[in-house]
Structure formats: C-alpha cells, structure tokens
Structure 1
Amino acid sequence: MTIAPDRRVIRFALLPLLLAGTVCGPFEVSAQSDTATAAQDMFAGVTVRMPDAFYDPPAQVPDTPGALLRSEPLRNIRLPAGMRGWRILYTTTVNDITRATAVATVVAPIDPPAGPRPLITWEHGTTGLQQRCMPSLISAPTLGIPALDQIVRAGWVIVATDYSFAEKGGPHPYLIGEGEARAALDSVRAARQMSELTLEARTVVWGHSQGGHSALWTGIVAPRYAPEIEIAGVAAIAPATNLRNILAMNQGIDKRLGPYVALAYSRFYPDITFEQAVRPEALPAARGIAGLCGFLPAEEPLRAAALTATFEGPALATRSSAALSARLAQNSPDHPIPAPVVIAQGAEDDVVPPAVTASYVEERCAAGQRLEYWTFARLDHGMVQPGSKLEEPLIAWTAARFANEPPPKGCTRKSL
C-alpha cells in the first residue's frame, strides 16, 4: 500500500531552511506561499562543503573542556555587511565520561566600539546528526540567526556552535540537554581565547527550536559546568520543551526526526538501542533517515520525505519503550534557570505546538521560575526569518540584559 507522506514532512523537504527551522523542521508553509518564496530567496546561491582537515582533532587533545585547539578566518563565505568571521575547533564533553570536540563559527563587527564586546551564544535548530550537516559548512553560516544587522550596529559578537562530536562523523547529542549545553558553554570558553577578540565576561544565549531546547539547558547547566561564565539571559525561541508531547502531537515530525532521536539516544544512553527505540515497521526507513541531512545537499531532505511515506504511524516506539520515554522526559528543560529567561512562541506554529509551550510556561511559573513569555500573532515556526517582528523586542531585551537592567519579577506574559 502506498502511504501519502505527511504534508509537513513534504514542506520540510521542499523548504530545507536549516537554521531557520526546527526541533522539528523549517517553516510550516506551502510551497506557493510568500514565506516559501522568501525562504527560497534566502537560500539562493547557498552551497555546502564537506568537512576538511580543520575538523579533525589533533593527535594530543587536552583534557580540559573549552580549550581552543585551532582557529582560522572564514574565507569564500557570505556574511552580513560589516561582519568578519572565524571558525574554531575546541574541546568539550557530552557528559562526565564522554570527551568530544566541536567546531563553532565566530562572527564580529569589522569596526567594533572600543572595549570588551558583549557575546551572544547562538544555538541552532535541527540540521542533521552528522558533522557534514552542520552550519559551519555552508557558505552562509549565519543564516537563521535573527537581527544580524542590529547585532552589527550594537557591536556584539556571536559564537555559534555546531554542537559536539565524540567521534568523526557523529552523531551529536541531539535533544540531549546536557550535551548540547556543554558544547555551547565550551564555545564561549574557546572564543575568549581568541587573540583577535576581547570579550566581556557576560553572554546572552539565544536558540531556536532544537536550539531553544539547548538554550534553556545552557541556562540550567552553566552554574554547575561553567560557573565562570556569566549568563546574562536566555532567549528560547519556539523551543522544544516537553519532547514527548511535541512528538505525540505532531506525527509527521516524529516520522522525520524520530530517527535522529533514536540514533543519538542509542549512542549516548546505555539503556537505549536504536532497534528498541524505533517501531519495527519503521526500522528500514529510520535507518536511512538518520543518516540524511535536513537542508543540504538538497536531495537529502527529499529522500527523507520519501522514506517517511513508506510506513504508517510514528517512527519512535515511545509507547512500548519505557526507557525511551524516560529519557525523553529527562531531557525536558524543567530545572531552575538563575538567569533571566524569555520564551518566544509563534501562535501559528504547527511544528512546536503553542499549547505545548504554554503548558511548559505554566509549569515553570508554578515552580517559581522567573520568565517572560511572548506570543506572536500570525508567526509560525519560521519566526527567526529576517525582518520578523521578533527582532525588535529580542534586541531590546538583550540590550537590557547587557546593561544589567533588572528583568520583570515573577512570570509576565505579552502578546505581540
């Protein structure tokens, strides 16, 4: 029997907007929509290269996480006007027993104001599990980071991790909060060792979708893992919060990204195997999907969409695997975050359902977490695209954090 693929999965394939998408995939729009046209324009001329020797760790890797191993200026890539950039290789850890390395992209104004510069730690959305799928390998590595022109004018620096790799190729710790957060925090440590830059002690963390999940976990993990890094604020945009609920409410996303979860969890959790984490009828397709990138080369998301059409139902065996269900729950970012937090959610998002985010906010507020919750009418999961009405309040909120202005007390809500 031929099974029609979920239309959201097709959209994922037709609009592979890497960093603009994801826990769960890019813009939820039809291929004929204005957003689709803007997306195609944004990706026009973007190319991808394979990892070169820069990505290979040296023979002797320091035990200390956050050590800068190498750095080089970016060449033959597309950056916003007024910016220059580098790529850096550094040490990190996935957990207390798993060492890894990671690559990050660092971008800074060409002519910054005098003095140490504030740092934005950017955590990107889903692009795939393998190193060849990572943002530092595309010809426009800042694609998907909101408000770039405003960042240049403010004189801020950005460090954008690819996340970490315990072995060449991958997988990275996908939707594993501890591993994601450690890679981000160690990118800050490494960026501070660059001779070309002088950075402040403070950073504001931004993340979208998978990166929103990672940003929240960065706020959770920082006081324990990297107490010398002052997290001035955490901005989580359309974040993956309650992973089980997101997957349960969006079967198309489970079919497409569930194989990523299964492979990453089976690599880093001893009680998870890929075969047990995936439903038997989905296994052949899931093995293929897990190795494909989510954006470029362009044929890979199309192949993934075709594979999702070969089985009915979700990919993940969440109902039958108690271990998988427990690990998904473990990775919900439901721990205190000392830093100021803002959560931004588009009301039209059908990738990360607004109801899931609203429920998460209610739970965290009831637990005493101080946060701001912004909801945006008529915005979908692609709310980080250039010119979005997210940009102005996000920049103002970030500037206030760098200026040490006190955030609102308790939980506040705002419709924008």
Structure 2
Amino acid sequence: MRHLLLLLALAIAAPPAAQAQQAGSLIAADPMTDTPPGVQAWRVQYWTSNSKGERLRVTGIVAAPREAVPPRPRRVIAWTHGAWGVAEKCAPSLSPNFFAASVGMDAVRQGYVVVAPDYIGLASPTMHPFLVGADTANSVLDAVRAARAISGAAAGNDFAVWGESQGGHAALWTALQARNYAPDLRLVGTAAAAPPTDLAANLRDGSDKNARALLLSFTLHSWSTLYGYSMDGVANRTNQGIIRRLAENNCISLEKKPKLGTILGVLTIVRATKNKDIARIDPWGGFARANSVDAARVPGPLLIAQSSKDTIIAPAVTRKFAKSVCRGRTRVRWIDMTGDHGASAKDSASETIGWIGARFDGQAPPDDCRRI
C-alpha cells in the first residue's frame, strides 16, 4: 500500500512528458558571471516546435537589469541575431564576444529584458534551418515565453522584436507568426535592420559576390540537409563538397580574417554559381519564395533600417519590400543609413530603441511611407 501511495503521489506531482516538453516551457536557466556592469543574464534551454510539430530543445540568453525585481513585469525585446553560421558551434550564446557583438543587449541598460534565442540547431545537434521563416519565428516566440519563468528577469507578456540581417528576416517572420502561434503574447512593434525579404533576390543581387557565395553555401547546405534537396542543379559533386565544408567549418566573425582554405572555397563557389539563380531552379526557387516575407501580411507598426551602401542586402530589394508594406496601409518608420552591412543595427540602435519605447508607451507610430 505504501508503494502504491508513493506512485500515486509521484503521478500527481510530476507533469506528463507532453506537458513538460510543451513549446515555450523553460528547461534550465543558468546564471552567467561574465556579464557587463548592471546586467544579469542566464544561459537558457527551452522547448520549441518546428513546422512539423516536432518538439526541439533549443538555447539562448536572457538578460535583465541587475536590480530589484519591479512590482510590474518588465518590457521585453526579442533580439534576433544576424548570421553567425549554420554549424552547431556557431551559436551566439557560445561566444565569449556575445555581449559585445549583440547590439540588442544595449536595451538592458534602459530597463528592458532582452531575450536572445540561438534559433534551432545552433548549440543543439539539429541542422540549423537557415532563413526558414516559420521554424525560426517559433523559436523566437518560445524564447519570450520561456523567459517569463525566470523570476529574476520579471519578463512580461508584452514584447517587441528587433533583429539585423538574418535576424531582420527572423523579426519579420516573428511578426507574421505571433498572433496565431503565441496568442498569449502581445507584440507591440517590429524592427528590422537590413532584413532579407525576397530570398532569391537577396542571394542574387548583393554586390559583394564573396559574401553572397558564403551565404548561398549556408543556405544550400541547410536546406539540402533538412529537406533532402539535391544540389545537382546548382553545383557539381566536387563543388557540393566545398559547399558542405564551407558551411560546416565556418562561423562568421567580424574580429577574425578568414582562413586561406575558406577564401579559396568561396572563390570556387563564386565561379561555380556565377550564372545560377536559385529562383529558377526547383525545388530551391519554390522554397525561397515560401520563406520570403509576404509584405501584405506583415502587421504594423514596423521599423526598417537600411544602408544605401549595403553590399550584402541590396538596398533596392529592401526598399521595394517597404513600399509593398506601405501599399497595405501599414505604418513604416524608415531609417536611411550609409554604413556597411555589419553596422546596420549599431548605426540605427539609438533611434530603434527610442521607437520601441514609444510603442510600449502607446504613442501613435510615425509613418514614412511617402518618402520611401
């Protein structure tokens, strides 16, 4: 009888496996010691789900002001990072330069909780779904949910999403997914710096051919691994091997120069894909279109920051997207810049954080559609 009562007690106390792995539930939050002054942070693990409904364990960082827990929940910003690579080792949360390289963390000093997901497959053994909109958005929304379980963070249900480069694409997709996937959260605004929007055009029209070749390699490796797409229509078997090695061995770092092998590999893929447009090669073209951002569906308010001298995300592609959003009468704040691609979020950070604060305050959003 004693054993029976013990089993019954355990059954009542322990949540079912399905409940324990519910998307958005926190698995672990380990306090970090190497944080900037005034910032407390946790390396987190949490559950998310992909478009197939599979539960996946993912990682990230949650940061908050190092001060007493306020009487009301703190405002939340989901910081969606740019491209760090597609290999497991490329996760931002594993980098000793995380805080220095993550512009979104600047908002912590202004009282925000900043939630920074690694996305699926970075710091976890699943292949990273590079530029796959819905899967990435799910991981962002579930990170915001999971942060609410950290008592010291005091994260609320209201959030903004802000990202650069690949993270700009993630931010826009998060806005698309938020209402249906996470109705328990309230999105107040979306900010995207140099976002890929039309994926085929972005992979084709950037003026830096070397960066284009590396990003194309990340894309081809990720999608071929995840979905079984053949690269035969894009590259021969020798060059497919080079693409795989570029993707598996390289994380993007602005502090280090690329190795000679990487340089030679990139130059080879530049030549091999010179006249290739994935928009015209099935199934790549269809998948690129499916994961581009549908301007007609993007909810406002929206901020887009774009440099006219960006050599990776073609300014004309971003401007065309913004005009399409405007045609749907969505209010768009447009920030013109002149720096390089890697400085997109940094150069627009002050104005973006101010714009986000105004959204939380309930102010009417500005509209630059007439001058875009």
Instruction: Please confirm whether the aligned pair reaches a TM-score higher than 0.5, indicating the same fold.
Output: yes
Q: Which residue of 1 aligns with 2:88?
A: 131
Residues in 2 aligned to 1:156 and 1:302: alpha-carbon distance in whole angstroms: 42
Instruction: Note if contact 2:65-2:112 (Cα within 8 Å) is conserved in structure 1.
Output: yes
Alignment-mate amino acid for residue 201 of structure 1: N
Residues in 1 aligned to 2:297 and 2:113: alpha-carbon distance in whole angstroms: 27
1:345 aligns with 2:302: no
Residues in 1 aligned to 2:356 and 2:69: alpha-carbon distance in whole angstroms: 17
Q: Cα deviation per residue 1:353-403 (whole Å; 9 max; x = unaligned)?
A: 111111111222224433222212x222122475x3x22211210110111
For residues 375-414 of structure 1, what are the structure 2 equivalents within 5 Å? 375-376=336-337, 378-384=338-344, 388=347, 390-408=348-366, 411=369, 413=371
Q: Aligned to 1:252, which of 200, 206, 210? A: 210
For residues 307-346 of structure 1, what are the structure 2 equivalents within 5 Å? 307-311=265-269, 312-314=271-273, 318=278, 321-334=281-294, 335-346=296-307
Alignment-mate amino acid for residue 315 of structure 2: P
Q: Which residue of 2 aligns with 1:373?
A: 334
Q: Please identify which structure carries the higher helix content.
A: 2
Q: Which residue of 1 aligns with 2:221?
A: 263
Q: Aligned to 2:73, which of 116, 140, 156? A: 116
Q: Cα deviation per residue 1:259-296 (whole Å; 9 max; x = unaligned)?
A: 211122223435x2344554556323112112023236
Secondary structure, aligned partner of 1:383: helix
Q: Cα deviation per residue 1:333-367 (whole Å; 9 max; x = unaligned)?
A: 11412341111001211111111111111222224
Residues in 2 aligned to 1:207 and 1:301: alpha-carbon distance in whole angstroms: 28
After TM superposition, the structure 1 stretch with the greater mean CA deviation from structure 2, 170-179 or 140-149, is 140-149
For residues 9-408 of structure 1, what are the structure 2 equivalents within 5 Å? 62-75=20-33, 77=34, 79-111=35-67, 114=70, 115-146=72-103, 148-149=105-106, 151-165=107-121, 168-250=124-206, 251-269=209-227, 272-276=229-233, 278=235, 282-295=239-252, 303-311=261-269, 312-314=271-273, 318=278, 321-334=281-294, 335-376=296-337, 378-384=338-344, 388=347, 390-408=348-366
State percent identity of aligned pairs. 30
Residues in 2 aligned to 1:67 and 1:233: alpha-carbon distance in whole angstroms: 24
Instruction: Note if contact 2:90-2:123 (Cα within 8 Å) is conserved in structure 1.
Output: no
Secondary structure, aligned partner of 2:62: strand
Residues in 2 aligned to 1:299 and 1:382: alpha-carbon distance in whole angstroms: 15
Residues in 1 aligned to 2:67 and 2:279: alpha-carbon distance in whole angstroms: 55
Residues in 2 aligned to 1:161 and 1:301: alpha-carbon distance in whole angstroms: 28
In structure 2, list runs of 5 or more residues that go unmatched.
1-16
Instruction: Note if contact 2:203-2:215 (Cα within 8 Å) is conserved in structure 1.
Output: no
Question: Judging changes above 3 Å, is the alpha-carbon distance between structure 1 residues 370 and 313 closer, same or farther for their aligned structure 2 residues?
Answer: farther
Residues in 2 aligned to 1:382 and 1:167: alpha-carbon distance in whole angstroms: 23
Q: Give how far 1:96 is off.
A: 3.0
- Alignment TM-score, normalising by the size of structure 1: 0.77
After TM superposition, the structure 1 stretch with the greater mean CA deviation from structure 2, 198-207 or 251-260, is 251-260
Residues in 2 aligned to 1:184 and 1:220: alpha-carbon distance in whole angstroms: 12
Residues in 1 aligned to 2:352 and 2:218: alpha-carbon distance in whole angstroms: 30
Q: Cα deviation per residue 1:199-256 (whole Å; 9 max; x = unaligned)?
A: 2221110000000000000000111111111111100001011111111113323311
Residues in 2 aligned to 1:401 and 1:303: alpha-carbon distance in whole angstroms: 47
Count of matched residue positions in the alignment of Structure 1 and Structure 2: 348
Question: Judging changes above 3 Å, is the alpha-carbon distance between structure 1 residues 237 and 222 closer, same or farther for their aligned structure 2 residues?
Answer: same
Residues in 2 aligned to 1:205 and 1:245: alpha-carbon distance in whole angstroms: 24
Secondary structure, aligned partner of 1:265: helix
Larger Rg, first or second structure (1 or 2)? 2
Question: Judging changes above 3 Å, is the alpha-carbon distance between structure 1 residues 234 and 320 closer, same or farther for their aligned structure 2 residues?
Answer: closer
Secondary structure, aligned partner of 1:322: coil
Secondary structure, aligned partner of 2:326: helix
Residues in 2 aligned to 1:229 and 1:383: alpha-carbon distance in whole angstroms: 30
Secondary structure, aligned partner of 1:101: strand
* Structural RMSD (CA): 2.6
